[in-house]
Amino acid sequence: MRTIEFRGVTVEYDEKCPNSWTWQKAMASGDDKRGFAAIERILMGKDDEIAEKLGDDFESMGELIGEIVRTSRAAKN
């Protein structure tokens, strides 16, 4: 588990997901059910709680996931 600060909220996430083929495939599938399951997985089941802290804003959640992926890739390189 790792944490990231995003808009004043400390978010714990599964650092294995961004580099996982299965996780990336689910996110890119275009299938809402698989995509939301992938978000739930990376945020370890706390996605609704985190969304609430971010104002229940869909765009903010997307930006959070993007920031987690960018941070994870930068740390790997």
> How confident is the model at residue 23, as a pLDDT?
96
Cα atoms in the 13 Å half-sphere on the side-chain side of 31: 9
Under DSSP, the state recorded for 8 is: T
Residue 34, domain member (yes or no):
yes
> How confident is the model at residue 41, as a pLDDT?
97
The continuous run of DSSP H or E covering 71 comes out as helix 58-76
Domain interval for residue 48: 2-72
Computed from CA positions of residues 10, 16, 17, 19, in that sequence, does the dihedral angle turn out positive or negative? positive
Residue 63, domain member (yes or no):
yes
> How confident is the model at residue 72, as a pLDDT?
85
Tens-level pLDDT at each residue, the chain (77 residues): 999 999 999 999 999 999 999 999 999 999 999 999 999 999 999 999 999 999 999 999 999 999 999 998 776 65
Supply the pTM of this predicted model.
0.90
Residue 43, domain member (yes or no):
yes
Residue 77, domain member (yes or no):
no
Closest to 14 in 3D by CA, of 53, 49, 52, 40: 40
> How confident is the model at residue 76, as a pLDDT?
63
